[in-house]
């Protein structure tokens, strides 16, 4: 398998022939026949056709290749992925006869259910075919056309092709703004001369790969309508496209569009009010924006834009730097107000950036004497008065600072000007990356996907680097007069120019091509001689010579620097080595810097024909400090061979001892030299011929060596192959995540001489969570780094962990892996309730599902149904309608209490149920939000007892976990109904926590494990289960509904009859017992009671009984 550098694709050699093929895939109507795959998702199914892109061969050969693979049962696989999602689909094992291609049709709902307009990550796609040991893989992108905000607008008045062609001669510069979530969606702005006023923007959704895909708009009227005065001398300056807004910098001010998520017929703008600034100030102003995709935006994430004016503050101006946060209504000064005390040093903010990971404001400051970076923490999105840590002051030779930028989706901070500096800790410290003293860097261009960085100098020279690397490659100058550099979504570098011959006036070029740049060799050698010092047979230290008679200022360019690390040092004759590490040292005179290299191909050794002195013997003596004298002596044959003039600045190499760089000749038999390792100088020892060697790495007469970018000598593997290279992981409280990368050398070196780690790891916010790391080498010389992140703290935020192969070449397609960890709840993590009865979708649609007893478990609700309340069945008090239909009457709506309640949600301001536009998912949703759409609910027979509430937690890794302590839940009835209760078993160690939480929220709290529900009421009950916050960042909740049917009559008739019967029978038995006890004749007393008066019959007997009892008592007393 081979790799295609130009397109960033893997290609393979098939066994069927010598063809080298790439897949070409397209959606109907888009970009057919291009080796860069750009697919587009609409409201319908995603239809993709793929075939082998056979270079210059007929479609018949293409069809034969597909038929050959298909006959063997082979068809490509189609993978869709972004930072959190991955899905795999398979092409049909048949061929589209009309196009000689494999095809696949994927329903939109399989990829995404959402159709709302919002920032969404542009997907990456990968089409791969495995044929034995041969693999064919091509990468591309998939863009959702109906959700991307900027694509839903008509930006302004359309500009025709003929109109735009006439405008091209007036264009003096171009500005590009990429969509943060979809880098293929690009806004192209043109800066025109004074003869052409106005704001003109182009919009493309294919990253300029579609020659006809750029539309041009005139936004002059949209912007001028905001101003109260006439738009005179009005021109475009710069543009920024944030997640939700389009921001335009013009000569008449800064304008912000309305929210792009809510499209209208016309795009309107608002103007930011900065007092005291004139037209010239806006023309020289700069916008600063940190590109970060806010799809699935968290509460702690914000978009920000800053503007700086290239001038010192005057009395009429509050500041020369302002910033704002989405929705960009209020613009605040970048610097907090300070009280004037003592002497104030005049300073100016060159650039301002907000660090989203550490929540801090970073300032690039310039005074009359020095340039510095200071950092302030943010409190309520406002910088604090005191700086976070002491300001970093750059050396005096860094005198021109032009900007500062954070690499997209990372924590690498770059400061650029006449030098380039890199900070990996948020501005606390910096390391120099490169010196561009005479040609300062004016702009930078970045790709989050490949970590590529392009530095563009004032003279239009292009420098290429990778995020985190302290090296770069210098290329030539851009030939075009008007151009802009851009990276598409897969990181391909493109140079965009304007051309009258193209359909839309836009032409793209490959950035690193001879048609665009004056040079592409990337040689970064400096004009001095090198002295090789062997350490082993495969390891050499090259010392760079700095003439002793020159000043440090003159020698500063004659040094190894970090730019050389990871490159190849080549001899003009033969041999090359890989620069592993650059060293600086002050104790070796004449050699302030050196480079450790690994020899990949042996270097040429001088021979006696070229240097006759090699046939003589030599001795080493100490001369005037710091020189050593090399003397030639007779050889074994008694012959003396002398030095030649061309031997100057060649290196004498003596195995096991120090090497010596010849500086000058005393005579033709003696020379003065500098030692690379003075501690290993062999005094009083004679070395015969063939015991010493001579190497030529001089620059005295001609260039004998060069340093150029090396081919990539490693692969990087990471264990999260289910997502794209930009990886986002959510870690909840108490969760742990392990991530591992493997750096595989392309050529195994066996036992490593220098056991130096192959990668560096940087953390953007090290205090957010605990991060442990482990690194080691395995048996295949692969270097493995394993990090484990454990979230112990109730603190939301995010941090990036960057793995940088510091030895990597800038030619490597992948040298940096950036992992983003969010201390938050994943949008793919949720809780759900397992229903007590499994009912199929067909049964729901039919409304019939009978259990083993023949009882129908589905209840179809009446139109505009509302459940009963505690006042009775006929008096509903809830605001929730079920099975809403605005065209039908509302039942149970007679009482005043019921008339003032009940509100439509989905059917609000609709005249019929059809206008409610309820989807199938909404009709079967239990949530209160879609109660209008709910038609059918689960039905149970009265009474409902011990109904199990089984809660399952589904993680983003698709693992199902049963919810149990320490989670606690509340259960409420959303319609405030009663006649239900919960049975639970609360562990002893959770009771204290339960009581505490109940005292705070004033609701009963339950253990989610083994919950049981009993209902003694009738009709619909709608329950909501909510997880108590504190043990998770997620707002877990779920709802379920139960319709209780076959309930006894509300009036308890049977109970009353049974009670009355029991009382009567009990009374009869009691009376019979009393009559029998006192030997009363039933009929005589009854007859006597009827005849006589009531008073007489009841006044004699009690007296008689009372008297008898009293006498009896007296008799007992006498006896006693």
For residue 885, which phi and psi values (nearest 5 degrees)?
A: -150, 100
Position 416 pLDDT exceeds 80: yes
Strands of 452-457's sheet, edge to edge? 441-446, 452-457, 461-466, 473-477
**Residue with the larger pLDDT of the pair 703 and 47:** 47
Confidence class of residue 1091 from pLDDT cuts 50, 70 and 90? low
For position 445, what pLDDT does the model report?
Answer: 96
CB 1012 within 8 A of CB 982: yes
Contacts of 500 (CB under 8 A, 6+ apart): 165, 168
CA-to-CA separations, 825 to 121, 168, 299, 301, 1033, in angstroms, rounded: 18, 50, 11, 14, 5
Q: What angle do CA 161, 164, 170 make, to 5 degrees?
A: 160
- Is the whole model's pTM more than 0.95, yes or no? no
Q: Is the pLDDT of residue 785 over 80?
A: yes
Axis crossing angle, helix 1083-1091 with helix 1094-1119, rounded to the nearest 10: 120
Measured CA to CA, the distance from residue 373 to residue 390 in angstroms comes to: 9
Q: CB–CB of 408/292 below 8 Å?
A: yes
User: What confidence category does residue 1073 fall into, taking pLDDT thresholds of 50, 70 and 90?
Assistant: confident
pLDDT tens digits for range 90-111: 888 776 655 678 888 999 988 8
pLDDT of 1100 over the 60 cut: no
Instruction: Report the number of secondary-structure helices (H) and strands (E) in the chain.
Output: 14, 71
* pLDDT digit string, tens, across residues 304-357: 999 999 988 887 778 899 999 999 999 999 998 876 655 555 789 999 999 999
With a CB cutoff of 8 Å and minimum separation 6, the contacts of 1110 are none
Q: Which of 308-312, 379-383, 726-730, 956-960 has the lowest mean pLDDT?
A: 956-960
Helix (H) or strand (E) holding 205: none
556 band by pLDDT with thresholds 50, 70 and 90:
confident
Q: 933-986: per-residue pLDDT in tens?
A: 999 999 999 889 899 999 999 888 788 889 888 899 999 999 999 989 999 888
Helix (H) or strand (E) holding 157: strand 157-159
Q: Are 561 and 574 spatial neighbours (Cβ–Cβ below 8 Å)?
A: no
The pLDDT assigned to 75 comes to 85
Dihedral sign from CA coordinates of 689, 690, 692, 695: positive
β-bridge mates for residue 333, sequence order: 322
Q: Is the pLDDT score of 565 beyond 70?
A: yes
Return d(Cα 630, Cα 876) in angstroms, integer.
109
Mean pLDDT across the chain:
86
* Statement: residue 142 has pLDDT above 60: yes
Show Cβ contacts of residue 624 under 8 Å, excluding neighbours closer than 6 positions: none
pLDDT band at 722 (very low <50, low <70, confident <90, very high): low
Predicted pLDDT of residue 1099: 46
Question: How far apart, in whole angstroms, are the C-alpha atoms of residue 672 and residue 665?
Answer: 6
pLDDT of residue 1070: 85
Is the pLDDT reported for residue 811 higher than 90? no
Predicted confidence (pLDDT) at residue 746 exceeds the cutoff of 80? no
Can you spell out the DSSP letters for 541-604? EEEEP--TTS-HHHHTTSS--GGGTTEEEEESSS-EEEEEEEEE-SSSTT-SEEEEEEEEEPPP
Mean pLDDT score, 51-77: 75
Mean per-residue pLDDT for 991-1016? 90
Which tokens go with 395?
């050396």
- Note the pLDDT of residue 1098: 45
Is 487 in a helix, a strand, or coil?
strand
Specify the DSSP class assigned to residue 798.
E
Strand bridging mode 77-81 / 246-250 = unpaired
Instruction: Classify 1019 in phi/psi space as left (phi over 0), alpha (psi -120 to 50) or beta.
Output: left
pLDDT over threshold 50, residue 750: no
Band (921; pLDDT cuts 50, 70, 90): confident
C-beta pairs of 745-752 under 8 Å, 24+ apart in sequence: 745/713, 745/714, 745/781, 745/782, 746/712, 746/713, 746/714, 746/715, 747/713, 748/780, 748/781, 749/538, 749/598, 749/781, 750/781, 752/777, 752/781
% helix, strand, coil for the chain, step of 5:
15, 40, 50
The label of the residue with tokens 């700069």 reads: 286
pLDDT above 90 coverage of the chain, percent: 51
Q: How far is residue 753's CA from residue 539's CA, in Å, rounded to a whole number?
A: 8
| Range from 350-354, 445-449, 552-556, 925-929 carrying the lowest mean pLDDT | 552-556
CA-to-CA distance for 1 and 136, rounded, in angstroms? 8
* Higher per-residue pLDDT: 341 or 1030: 1030
Structure confidence at residue 211 (pLDDT): 78
Compute how many other C-beta atoms are within 10 angstroms of the C-beta atom of residue 127. 24
The span from the CA of 657 to the CA of 654, in Å, is 6
Q: How far apart are CA 400 and CA 398, in angstroms?
A: 6
Q: How confident is the model at residue 1089 (pLDDT cuts 50, 70, 90)?
A: low
Q: String of b and e for 850-882 (b: at least 16 CB within 10 Å)?
A: eeeeeeebbbebebbbbbbbeeeeebbbbbbbb
Give the pLDDT score at 261: 94
What is the pLDDT at residue 1082?
A: 64
Does the pLDDT value for residue 386 go beyond 60?
Answer: yes
| Whether residue 544 has a cis bond before it, omega within 30° of 0 | no
pLDDT reported for residue 344:
57
Distance CA 456, CA 847 (A): 68
Q: How many CB atoms lie within 10 A of CB 884?
A: 29
Q: DSSP letter string over 161-181?
A: HHHHHHHGGGEEEEEEEE-SS
In angstroms, rounded to a whole number, what is the distance separating the alpha carbons of residues 304 and 245?
11
What average pLDDT score do residues 607-628 get? 91
How far, in Å, CA of 525 to CA of 545, rounded?
Answer: 13
pLDDT band at 791 (very low <50, low <70, confident <90, very high): very high
């Amino acid at each position: 398998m081979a790799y295609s550098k130009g397109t960033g694709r893997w290609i393979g050699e098939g066994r069927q022939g010598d063809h080298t093929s790439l897949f070409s895939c397209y959606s109907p109507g888009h970009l057919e026949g291009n080796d860069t795959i750009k697919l587009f998702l609409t409201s319908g199914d995603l239809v993709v056709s793929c075939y082998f892109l056979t270079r210059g061969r007929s479609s018949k050969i293409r069809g034969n290749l597909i038929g050959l693979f298909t006959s063997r049962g082979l068809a490509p696989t189609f993978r869709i992925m972004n930072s959190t999602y991955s899905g795999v689909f398979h092409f049909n094992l048949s061929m589209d006869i009309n196009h000689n291609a494999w095809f696949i049709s994927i329903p939109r709902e399989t990829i995404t259910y959402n159709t709302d307009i919002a920032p969404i990550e542009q997907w990456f796609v990968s089409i791969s075919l495995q044929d034995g040991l041969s693999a064919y893989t091509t990468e591309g992108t998939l863009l959702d056309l109906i959700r991307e905000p900027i694509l839903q607008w008509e930006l302004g008045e359309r500009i025709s092709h003929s109109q735009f062609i006439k405008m091209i001669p007036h264009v003096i510069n171009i500005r590009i703004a990429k969509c943060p979530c979809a880098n293929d969606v690009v806004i192209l702005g043109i800066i025109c001369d004074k003869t052409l006023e106005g704001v003109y923007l182009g919009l493309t959704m294919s990253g300029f790969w579609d020659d006809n895909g750029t539309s041009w708009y005139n936004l002059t009227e949209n912007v001028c309508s905001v101003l109260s005065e006439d738009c005179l001398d009005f021109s475009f300056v710069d543009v920024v496209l944030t997640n939700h807004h389009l921001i335009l910098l013009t000569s008449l001010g800064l304008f912000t569009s309305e929210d792009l998520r809510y499209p209208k017929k016309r795009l309107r703008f608002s103007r930011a009010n900065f007092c005291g600034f004139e037209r010239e100030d806006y023309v020289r102003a700069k916008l600063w924006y940190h590109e970060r995709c806010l799809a699935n935006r968290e509460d702690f994430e914000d978009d920000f834009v800053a503007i700086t004016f290239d001038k010192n503050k005057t009395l009429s101006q509050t500041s020369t730097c302002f910033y704002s946060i989405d929705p960009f209504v209020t613009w605040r000064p970048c610097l907090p107000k300070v009280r004037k005390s003592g002497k104030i040093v005049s300073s100016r903010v060159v650039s301002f950036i907000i660090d989203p990971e550490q929540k801090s404001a970073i300032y690039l400051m310039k005074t009359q004497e020095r340039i510095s970076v200071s950092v302030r923490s943010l409190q309520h999105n406002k910088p604090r008065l005191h700086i976070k840590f002491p300001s970093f002051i750059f050396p005096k030779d860094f005198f021109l600072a032009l900007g500062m930028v954070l690499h997209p989706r990372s924590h690498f901070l770059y400061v650029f000007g006449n030098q380039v500096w890199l900070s990996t800790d948020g501005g606390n410290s910096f390391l120099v990356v490169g010196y561009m003293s005479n040609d300062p860097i004016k702009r930078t261009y970045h790709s989050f996907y490949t970590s590529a960085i392009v530095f563009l100098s004032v003279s239009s020279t292009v420098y290429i680097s990778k995020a985190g690397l302290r090296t770069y490659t210098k290329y030539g100058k851009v030939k075009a007069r008007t151009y802009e550099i851009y990276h598409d979504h897969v990181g391909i570098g493109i140079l965009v120019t304007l051309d009258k011959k193209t359909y839309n006036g836009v032409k793209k070029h490959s950035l690193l091509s001879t048609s665009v740049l004056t040079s592409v060799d990337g040689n970064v050698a400096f004009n001095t001689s090198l002295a090789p010092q062997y350490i082993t047979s495969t390891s050499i230290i090259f010392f760079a010579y700095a003439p002793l008679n020159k000043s440090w200022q003159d020698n500063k360019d004659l040094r190894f620097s970090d730019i050389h690390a990871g490159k190849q040092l080549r001899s003009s004759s033969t041999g090359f080595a890989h620069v592993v590490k650059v060293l600086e040292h002050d104790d070796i005179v004449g050699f302030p810097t050196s480079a450790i290299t690994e020899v990949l191909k042996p270097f040429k050794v001088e021979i006696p024909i070229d240097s006759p002195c090699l046939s003589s013997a030599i001795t080493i003596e100490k001369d005037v400090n710091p020189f050593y004298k090399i003397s030639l002596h007779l050889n074994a044959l008694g012959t003396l061979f002398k030095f030649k003039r061309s031997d100057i600045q060649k290196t004498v190499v003596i195995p096991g001892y120090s090497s010596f760089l010849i500086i000058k000749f005393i005579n033709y038999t003696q020379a003065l030299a500098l030692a690379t390792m003075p501690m290993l100088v062999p005094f009083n020892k004679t070395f015969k011929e063939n015991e010493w060697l001579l190497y030529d790495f001089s620059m005295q007469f001609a260039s004998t060596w060069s340093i150029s970018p090396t081919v990539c000598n490693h692969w990087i593997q990471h264990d999260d192959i289910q997502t794209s290279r930009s990886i986002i992981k959510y870690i909840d409280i108490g969760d742990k995540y392990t991530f591992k990368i493997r750096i595989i050398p392309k050529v195994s070196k066996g036992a490593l001489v220098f056991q130096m780690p192959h990668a560096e790891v940087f953390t953007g916010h090290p205090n957010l969570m605990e991060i442990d790391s482990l690194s080691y080498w395995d048996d295949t010389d692969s270097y493995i780094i394993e990090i484990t992140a454990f979230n112990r703290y109730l603190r939301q935020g995010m941090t990036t962990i960057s793995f940088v192969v510091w030895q990597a070449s800038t030619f490597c397609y992948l040298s940096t892996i950036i992992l983003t960890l969010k201390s938050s709840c994943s949008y793919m993590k949720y809780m759900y309730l397992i229903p007590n009865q499994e009912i199929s979708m067909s049964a729901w649609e039919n409304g019939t599902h009978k259990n083993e007893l023949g009882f129908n478990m589905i209840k179809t609700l009446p139109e505009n149904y509302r459940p009963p309340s505690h006042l009775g069945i006929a008096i509903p008090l809830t605001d929730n309608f079920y099975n809403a239909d605005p065209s039908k009457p509302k039942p149970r709506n007679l009482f005043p209490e019921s008339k003032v309640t009940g509100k439509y949600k989905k059917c609000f301001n609709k005249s019929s149920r059809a206008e409610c536009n309820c989807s199938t998912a909404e009709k079967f949703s239990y949530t209160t939000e879609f109660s209008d759409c709910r038609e059918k609910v689960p039905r149970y027979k009265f009474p409902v007892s011990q109904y199990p509430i089984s809660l399952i937690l589904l993680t983003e890794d698709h693992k199902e976990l049963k919810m149990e302590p320490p989670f606690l839940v509340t259960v409420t009835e959303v319609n405030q109904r009663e006649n239900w209760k919960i049975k639970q078993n609360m562990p002893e160690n959770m009771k204290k926590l339960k009581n505490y939480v109940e005292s705070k929220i004033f609701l009963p709290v339950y253990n989610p494990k083994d919950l049981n529900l009993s209902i003694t009421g009738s009709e619909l009950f709608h329950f909501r289960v909510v997880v108590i916050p504190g043990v998770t960042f997620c707002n877990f909740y779920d709802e379920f509904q139960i319709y209780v049917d076959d309930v006894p009559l509300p009036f308890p008739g049977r109970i009353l009859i049974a009670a009355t019967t029991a009382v009567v029978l009990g009374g009869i038995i009691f009376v019979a017992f009393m009559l029998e006890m006192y030997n009363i004749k039933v009929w005589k007393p009854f007859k006597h009671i009827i005849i006589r008066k009531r008073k007489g019959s009841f006044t004699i007997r009690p007296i008689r009984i009372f008297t008898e009892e009293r006498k009896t008592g007296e008799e007992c007393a006498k006896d006693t």
